[in-house]
């Protein structure tokens, strides 16, 4: 691969990461004056898709600490989006139950994912299985690169 192509790909990756970061910073209005941060929407989505999961499992799926999930849950309870419920079979376990407002946010987020996912599925349908494999491998590489980038760039003083 040429240096120019590698530079172009890194520039594109930087733009994609910047766009994703901007999306994550902007709260969304889901109706009735309820504004939610991206982390709150992601937890609502996780709770809606996996109502049987506990806080630790949600933390693992979202790539955050259990403490972070606990803080987000507190904000979502205050906004009336969900409630914590003790598991009747294991009193130590806590489950997250969406309220009407939480279900509204969940439906909004699922609709967004369906629209985005539809465009992605259409693009993937134009590729063959070998291209799918290469694409997955490329995303694995990107994930590894981003995971190690902090250590590799070091502190500039």
pLDDT tens track for 28-55? 888 777 899 999 999 999 999 999 999 9
Q: How far is CA 145 from each of CA 9, 10, 17, 61, 149, rounded to the nearest angstrom?
A: 13, 11, 12, 20, 6
Domain of 66 in residue numbering reads as 3-152
Asked if the structure places residue 51 within a domain, the reply is yes
pTM of the model: 0.75
Asked if the structure places residue 147 within a domain, the reply is yes
Asked if the structure places residue 83 within a domain, the reply is yes
Lowest mean pLDDT among 4-8, 31-35, 128-132: 31-35
Asked if the structure places residue 18 within a domain, the reply is yes
Asked if the structure places residue 157 within a domain, the reply is no
Tell me how many domains the chain contains.
1
CATH number of the domain encompassing residue 75: 1.10.10.10
Outline where the chain has alpha helix (H). Answer: 3-25, 38-49, 55-62, 66-78, 100-125, 129-153
């Amino acid at each position: 691969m040429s240096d120019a192509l590698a530079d172009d790909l890194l520039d594109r990756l930087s733009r994609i990461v910047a766009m994703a970061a901007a999306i994550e910073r902007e709260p969304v209005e889901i109706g009735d004056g309820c504004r939610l941060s991206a982390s709150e929407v992601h937890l609502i989505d996780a709770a809606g898709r996996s109502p049987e999961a506990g806080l630790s499992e949600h933390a693992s799926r979202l790539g955050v600490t259990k403490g972070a999930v606990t803080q987000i849950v507190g904000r979502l309870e205050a906004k009336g989006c969900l409630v914590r419920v003790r598991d009747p079979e294991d009193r130590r376990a806590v489950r997250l139950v969406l309220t009407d407002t939480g279900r509204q946010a969940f439906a909004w987020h699922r609709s967004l994912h369906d629209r985005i996912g539809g465009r992605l599925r259409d693009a993937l349908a134009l590729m063959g299985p070998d291209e799918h494999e290469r694409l997955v491998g490329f995303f694995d590489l990107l994930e590894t690169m981003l995971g190690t980038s902090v250590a590799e760039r070091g502190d500039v003083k």
